[in-house]
Amino acid sequence: MQAVVVTPRSDPLTDNKGLPAFDRIRAEHVEPAVQRALREAQAALDVLEARVQPTWAGLVEPLERLLDGIDHVWGPVSHLLGVCNSPALRVAYEAVQPDVVALQLRIGQSVPLYKAFCTLRDAPEFDSLSEARQRIVQATIRDAEHSGVGLQGAEKERFSAIQLELADLGTQYSNHVLDATKAYHLDLTTHAEVAGLPQSLLRMAAQAARSGEAPAEQEVDGNHGPWRITLDFPSFGPFMQHSRRRDLREELYRAYLTRASGGELDNTEIMRKILALRAEMAHLLGFADYAALSLASKMAPSVDDVLVLLEQLRCSSYESGLRDLNALRDFARSSGAEEADDLRQWDTAFWAERLREARFDFNDEQLRPYFPLPRVLDGVFALARRLYGVTILAADGETPVWHPDVRFFRVLGEDGRPVAAFYLDPYSRPQEKRGGAWMDECQGRSKLCAAPGESVRLPVAYLVCNQSPPVGNQPSLMTFREVETLLHEFGHGLQHMLTRIDEGLCSGIRNIEWDAVELPSQFMENWSYHRATVRALSGHFETGEPLPDAWFDKILAARTFRAGSDMLRQLMLALTDLKLHHGYDPAGPVSPFAVHRAVEERTLLLPPMPEDRFLCAFSHIFAGGYAAGYYSYKWAEILSADAFSAFEEAGLDDERAVADTGRRFRDTVLALGGGRHPMDVFRAFRGREPNVEALLRHAGLGSREAA
Ligand SMILES: [Zn+2]
């Protein structure tokens, strides 16, 4: 928001006081600037550790300044790596990244800082701190303790050894999954073997079959074999949906389900070791099991509470799942399929896709002309105004950007004063930009880090999407899914930007329990299923005509297609994850496969296969950050659906009611960020604790009438 201060011969990363000087930052600036910032932070940390006072001003303020100094330089570098990747930038990034991580670890595990935080927590001064400040102190102590700072002697050594071993086992596990995925392929040579496969898959498979040869002069067209099908999801998924060869579907499915479960790439023992070490680590930290440790930093109150919710969802979706299965059987039978009365795991994706085609004969491409980006943006900004009273104004040219297509916007509050700003980088640039969509913070709201003369530093966000760029005079035309994605990231952005917390360490999305972080983003997605909103953000790029009602009805109907079956699968994953980390003894006689099987028997509609070794490739929980946390996907959906239902109750088409409820959402969920416990925030908005009813209703589940 501030003007960029340009000093002659300045280093654009460290000397810049306002928003990043994206027009001047080059790869060669990265190493010297980051090293300088690290040296300064290091020196500040040495001083702080030596003279630390257990008071807000003597501990937390210098710490926030120190962390902000690192972010100021490292933030733009990380951002550019995602949106302007180049070999030179990657080399520079990799050269300094280990030092950044090492310093962050040193800060998080600093014993003098930890002791000072504990003293502050136990001092009389603590009670006079604001709730947000108390949360910062408590979260810092908790995170330090979870990284072992409170342990002594032999226990501390054991803890460090476990962490190292877990990191190593996680890498081995994920390498095995990758190698096992790569090791298998199904080579097909006749047109009969590829019957039913869509052109895009054929092209990819023909390309894969030729990958060992010299690069083809011409692009492979896919009409000529051989074709190579692999266990990579972009190949495996469409094959299971479209291949008319049941025998080949079975072969591929069995290969997929037994990845990394035998020979040199076997993950069975690694998995057992990981579970045992996690349990031991939790015990060292004083927790009953790893699930309890995981939940100690999350919103969900306890493992049992989560289990109760998941069980509620299971009961409510089971019958609907059975109806889905019967519908598949009926459809297969009416199509004359021999397997209709003996559908197996490798048949469901295929028949579900045929049924989907029969019921909803539309595809993404047909909707694109109705969603040109400029129109969609107008609609999204109008929605933000209706709900939250904010005005969003284009401010392109006010600050440098990293690519000519990037837009810059200012956000004004209800009183017309600036409250935030954001960059929007909408289009895909495969040569230099990471795939997917995300929101990240450019700078956070903070009183402490305000520039001289300012009362508070205002938050600025990066919104990054990857949709098709404009072609010729035609604007970027979005799929419905891309519209949903934009709303999702905009929701994250609003929580970052509309925060009213002045404490930099917990404003916006900072310090929010991570099973609650997806609440505002998924909440915003709900509006893409509201007729009036979709009318307002659609407009044919040639005629201006909004999306016709008939199309919208199909979108609505497709939303709940096989929702019961999808829910059951997600519950199977979430329950397996929790049961392996709660009340399970990895050293005992029961194998993890038996735990998984018991969950499958309650959640899946077809009998589990005895040779199922899915756990050997469940990287989310064995090699990713989702251990005893996979439930978070459903948890956040429960919250966001329940929040949206407050608007439904008030009346979605009653402008006054929508505005009142929107202001309440803004003043609670969006404004309070990590400054208050998310359960208290939710209660403040909803007047009660969350429940699963809205999620079930939106998915068309939970009652017979909903079928
Ligand atoms: Zn998200």
pLDDT in tens, 192-221: 999 999 988 999 899 899 876 555 555 677
- End-to-end CA distance of the chain: give it in Å, rounded: 52
Distance 668 CA to ligand 1 centre (A): 19
Domain with residue 287: its CATH number is: 1.10.1370.10
Encode 205-253 in three state secondary structure.
HHHHHCCCCCCCCCCCCCCCCCEEEECCHHHHHHHHHHCCCHHHHHHHH
CB 197 within 8 A of CB 186: no
Q: What is the mean pLDDT of residues 56-67?
A: 97
pLDDT tens digits for 505-561?
999 999 999 899 999 999 999 999 999 999 999 999 999 999 999 999 999 989 999
Largest Cα separation within the chain, whole Å, is 80
pLDDT at 152 over 50: yes
Average pLDDT over residues 658-675: 97
pLDDT, residue 221, reads 78
The answer to whether the bond into 226 is cis (omega within 30° of 0) is yes
Question: CA-CA distance, 7 to 2, in Å (whole number)?
Answer: 15
CA angle, 344 then 178 then 275, to 5°: 80
Structure tokens at 24: 């001047």
* Region 117-133 average pLDDT: 97
CB of 137 closer than 8 Å to CB of 506 = no
112 assigned to some structural domain: yes
- pLDDT value, residue 107: 95
Give the distance (Å) from ligand 1 centre to CA of residue 492: 7
CA-wise closest residue to 498 among 438, 412, 423? 412
* Distance (Å, whole) CA 164 – CA 170: 10
Q: Report pLDDT for 472.
A: 87
**Residues 6+ positions from 126 with CB-CB distance below 8 Å:** 120, 134, 137
Helix (DSSP H) and strand (DSSP E) numbers for the chain: 28, 7
With tokens 């194998």, the residue in question is 591
Token output for 623? 């090699």
Dihedral of alpha carbons 94, 98, 99, 101, sign: positive
Residue 109 and residue 149 in contact, taking contact as beta carbons nearer than 8 Å = yes
Q: Which of 612, 544, 611, 542 is nearest to 572 (CA)?
A: 612
Reported as a pLDDT band with limits 50, 70 and 90, residue 45 is very high
pTM of the model: 0.90
Query: Do residue 204 and residue 116 come from a single domain?
Result: no
Residue 326: closest CA among 338, 341, 339: 341
Q: Looking at residue 704, what DSSP letter applies?
A: G
Residue 490 lies in a domain: no
Number of domains in the chain: 3
Reported as a pLDDT band with limits 50, 70 and 90, residue 704 is: very low
| 328-368 per-position pLDDT tens digit | 999 999 999 999 999 999 999 999 999 998 998 777 788 99
- CA–CA gap between residue 265 and residue 180 (Å, rounded): 7
Give the span between the Cα atoms of 589 and 676, in whole angstroms.
Answer: 43
Task: State the distance from the centre of ligand 1 to the C-alpha of 438, rounded, in angstroms.
Answer: 7
- Tell me phi and psi for residue 412, to 5 degrees: -110, 140
Cβ pair 396, 387 in contact under 8 A: no
d(CA 177, CA 168) in angstroms, rounded, equals: 14
Domain boundary among 129, 149, 170: 129
Measure 6 CA to ligand 1 centroid, in angstroms.
Answer: 36
Distance 64 CA to ligand 1 centre (A): 26
Question: Which parts of 498-618 fold into alpha helices (H)?
Answer: 519-525, 531-537, 549-559, 563-581, 592-603
pLDDT of residue 1: 44
**Span from the CA of 488 to the centroid of ligand 1 (angstroms):** 6
Residue 408's DSSP bridge partners are: 423
272 C-alpha to ligand 1 centroid (Å)? 31
Average pLDDT over residues 52-79: 97
- Cβ–Cβ contacts within 10 Å for residue 75, how many? 19
Distance CA 186, CA 236 (A): 10
The pLDDT of residue 625: 85
pLDDT at 360: 87
Q: Is residue 225 part of a domain?
A: yes
Distance separating alpha carbons of residues 655 and 638, to the nearest angstrom: 25
Cα 164 to averaged position of ligand 1 atoms, centre (Å): 30
**Cα of 316 from ligand 1 centre, angstroms:** 26
Do the domain assignments include residue 643?
no
Are 210 and 287 members of one domain?
Answer: no
Q: Which of 200, 265, 268, 262 is nearest to 235 (CA)?
A: 200
- The average confidence (pLDDT) of the chain is 93
- The pLDDT assigned to 657 comes to 97
Quick: pLDDT tens for 596-623: 999 999 999 999 999 999 999 999 999 9
Cα-to-centroid distance, 520 and ligand 1 (Å) = 9
CB atoms within 10 A of CB 401: 20
- How remote is the CA of residue 603 from the centroid of ligand 1, in Å? 26
Burial class of residue 443 in the structure, from the number of CB atoms within 10 Å of its CB (0-12 exposed, 13-18 middle, 19+ buried): buried
* Arithmetic mean of pLDDT, 617-642: 94
Q: Cα of 519 to ligand 1 centre, how many Å?
A: 8
| Predicted pLDDT at 10 | 64
Strand partners, 187: 228
pLDDT tens per residue, range 362-413: 777 889 999 999 999 999 999 999 999 999 999 999 999 999 999 999 999 9
Range of the domain at 68: 27-129
Ligand 1: centre distance to CA 489 (Å) = 6
pLDDT beyond 50 at 306: yes
Q: Which 3 state secondary structure label does DSSP give 183? A: helix
Active site residue 311: no
* Confidence check: pLDDT of 706 > 50: no
107 in any annotated domain: yes
223 Cα to the center of ligand 1, angstroms: 39
Q: How far apart are CA 467 and CA 483, in angstroms?
A: 10
The verdict on 282 and 210 lying in the same domain is no
Please give the share of the chain, as a percent, with pLDDT higher than 90: 87
> Is 89 domain-assigned?
yes
Judge whether 63 lies within some domain: yes
Q: How far is residue 420's CA from residue 411's CA, in Å, rounded to a whole number?
A: 5
For 160-190, how does the pLDDT look when each residue is reduced to its tens digit (9 = 90+)? 999 999 999 999 999 999 999 999 999 999 9
Checking 401-406 for CB contacts under 8 A at 24+ apart, the result is 401/22, 401/23, 402/22, 402/80, 402/83, 402/84, 403/83, 403/84, 403/429, 405/469
Cα–Cα nearest to 75, from 592, 572, 423, 467: 423
pLDDT of residue 522: 96
Backbone angles phi, psi at 438, to 5 degrees: -160, 160
CA 19 from centre of chain = 26
List Cα–Cα distances, 362 to 356, 551, 554, 555, in angstroms.
10, 8, 8, 9
In a domain, 62, yes or no: yes
466 backbone dihedrals φ, ψ, rounded to 5°: -140, 55
d(CA 612, CA 183): 19
Catalytic residue among 489, 503, 518, 637: 489
Do 484 and 528 touch, CB atoms closer than 8 A? Answer: yes
| Amino acid sitting at position 558 | A
Are residues 226 and 319 both part of a single domain?
no
pLDDT of residue 4: 45
At residue 407, the 3 state secondary structure works out as strand
Contact in structure between 272 and 536 (CB atoms under 8 Å): no
CA of 69 from ligand 1 middle (Å) equals 27
- In angstroms, what is the span from residue 484 Cα to ligand 1's centroid? 11
The answer to whether the beta carbons of residues 401 and 22 sit under 8 Å apart is yes
For the chain, what's the residue count?
707
CA of 369 to the centre of ligand 1 (A): 26
The Cα 47–Cα 306 span in angstroms is 44
pLDDT more than 70, % of the chain: 96
Scan for tokens 């003007």, then name that residue.
3
